[in-house]
Amino acid sequence: MKRPIGVILLAAGAGLLALYQLYQMLIYLGIVNFPIDNAFLGNMSFDEPQWGAALWTLLIAGIWAWVALGFWNLRAYAVSFGIFISLFTLIWGFFALLFGNTVEAGTIPWLLAGAIFLYLSYPGVQQAFVENERSKLTPEQIAAMEALEKANAEANAKPAPGMGKPDGS
């Protein structure tokens, strides 16, 4: 299977986001300190494990790892989940910033998730994923897909019921 360079970069970005989420989990568990160059905040650390935040970041890390694997294997599910989880990461990071998180802790996920979202939204990027999924279909499934596409094209050529022609007749 030949992977386009953009797909490799998508997989690498999603993998980095999964690793960063695991790093944040270690911070929430109190195993690692997050150094912040700020005179007021010092180092971000927790005396006791923050189990809710740690489990949440573990869940997000698992989703990013699953999406990275899907990108690497050119699976179509990875496109929709990649768009969803990147938007979720951007929105969640924004609200985390509003409610006490630091810009330093959110910058890496925002930049990577934003780049992944923008790249997946670019026209033509999803074609490699579609072609890979089509290559896995049996001849019967391909024939059924072509029949469906033909039926949809014929249905789109007719006006919708009750709409009539544009000239009012």
Q: From first to last of its 169 residues, what are the pLDDT tens digits of the chain?
A: 678 899 999 999 999 999 999 998 998 898 887 665 555 555 566 778 889 989 999 999 999 999 999 999 999 999 999 999 999 999 988 887 887 767 777 788 899 999 999 999 998 888 889 889 989 999 999 999 999 999 999 988 888 777 766 665 5
Q: Are 26 and 32 in contact (CB under 8 A)?
A: yes
